[in-house]
Structure 1
Amino acid sequence: MSRPPRARESVLDAFARILSDDGERAATMDATAREAGVSKGGLLYHFGSKEALEAGLMERMEALAVDDIEEIKRAPEGPVAAFMRTSIHTGSVLDQAIVAVSRLAQNGSAPAVEALRRVRVLWEEALRPLAKDETALQLILLVSDGLYFNNALTVGSVPGPQLDADDIAALIRLVEASTTPDAAAR
């Protein structure tokens, strides 16, 4: 896949930042162009409407999720452990995209809801062969969701649980032991 133009990426970064920080009402085309440091014409060259900008953000999120899955599949610690370990919001471009698309979904955007579902399905499909059954798969996904949510509380105004690296490692061992058919053999 060819690399998208830097101005396009800057616009998507700015749009995601505004959505995440200030909400959908603040994420106008003008505000996005200003935040990205491009002219309105430059923004319109890449995204002819706010709907196109939203669609571009959702496409980016899905592409980043595909890249994330490839990384966790190659992780030396194993895909389930890598998925769990990366379930903490770090401010990555993928994290920013997920939060921004979630803001769109919270405001009733059906395409945003569907894009988030597609990402969830991508992760499910990648992890399904590693889980002993569907219940185990849902355990992996729900613990991941909980890690992500509680980490978001910690960085926000509501205190969440403070988990250190040892806590995360213990949680990963617990999830792996209860979800993988060959965990006892390890």
Structure 2
Amino acid sequence: MTEAHRRQKQPELIRSQLLMVVRDILVQDGPHAVTLDAVSRRANVTKGGLQHHFRSKQALLQALCDQLFEEFQANLALAFEHEPAGPGRHARAYIRTCFDTHHHLNQVETQRAIGLLALTLPEARERWHQTMQTELAADGETPGAADRLLVCRMAADGFWFSQMLGVYALDDSHRARILALLLQLCSQKED
């Protein structure tokens, strides 16, 4: 009996490791470089072993998208729980999630993977669109307040993308001031 037959099977761990390899290839070499052969080679698994978990390149990319999206949703829910009630609560939680530089979702490599997936997979763009529509609905119906909160959300998106691309070199103090300003704008009373 081979060593592989004696090892304890850990399918979730293997799936997670395979998705990490997919993310690395996607970010380092681009979407075109994500192939079953490249993933199996870099992960040091057989192509058949890879296909046991993911049947195609599309399945690999979709699974990575699902994983990152679920992590984002969990972080957003956690930020919402810690945000005090009041005007702009949903927007403040979203902004805090975008500015949370300690979470791995906001590490440059992961940000780039999210960006590339959104550019590559139409279903990823649609999923983000639907999620943001739900989020915006939670910001209220007063046009002035809803517009102000949307501007704050868009500023947080801009911060997130600028960090991903390395556009602005912001130290912790400067980043904290920008975050405080956006949160203050979100907390203003309804117009």
2:56 matched to 1:49? yes
Distance 1:114 1:126, change over 3 A: same
The offset of 1:45, in angstroms, is: 0.3
| Corresponding residue of 2:98 | 87
Deviations 1:48-83 (A, max 9, x none): 111211221222122112212112113368765554
The question of whether the paired residues in 2 share the 8 Å contact of 1:30 and 1:40 is answered with yes
> Any gaps of 5 or more consecutive residues in structure 2?
1-9
Distance 1:36 1:57, change over 3 A: same
Deviations 1:6-40 (A, max 9, x none): 11111111111101111012211111122223221
Which among 153, 160, 163 is matched to residue 165 of structure 2?
A: 153
Identical pairs, percent? 26
The question of whether the paired residues in 2 share the 8 Å contact of 1:124 and 1:137 is answered with no
Q: What RMSD over aligned residues (CA atoms) do the two structures have, in Å? A: 3.1
Which among 115, 122, 126 is matched to residue 102 of structure 1?
A: 115
2:141 matched to 1:122? no
The offset of 1:118, in angstroms, is: 2.1
In structure 2, how many angstroms separate the alpha carbons of the residues matched to 1:164 and 1:115? Answer: 31
The offset of 1:182, in angstroms, is: 3.6
The question of whether the paired residues in 1 share the 8 Å contact of 2:26 and 2:34 is answered with yes
State the aligned residue count.
172
The question of whether the paired residues in 1 share the 8 Å contact of 2:23 and 2:113 is answered with yes
| Corresponding residue of 2:75 | 68
| Corresponding residue of 2:27 | 20
* TM-score, normalising length: structure 2: 0.72
Three-state SS of the structure 2 residue aligned to 1:87 is helix
The offset of 1:178, in angstroms, is: 2.5
Three-state SS of the structure 1 residue aligned to 2:55 is coil
Larger Rg: 2
* TM-score, normalising length: structure 1: 0.73
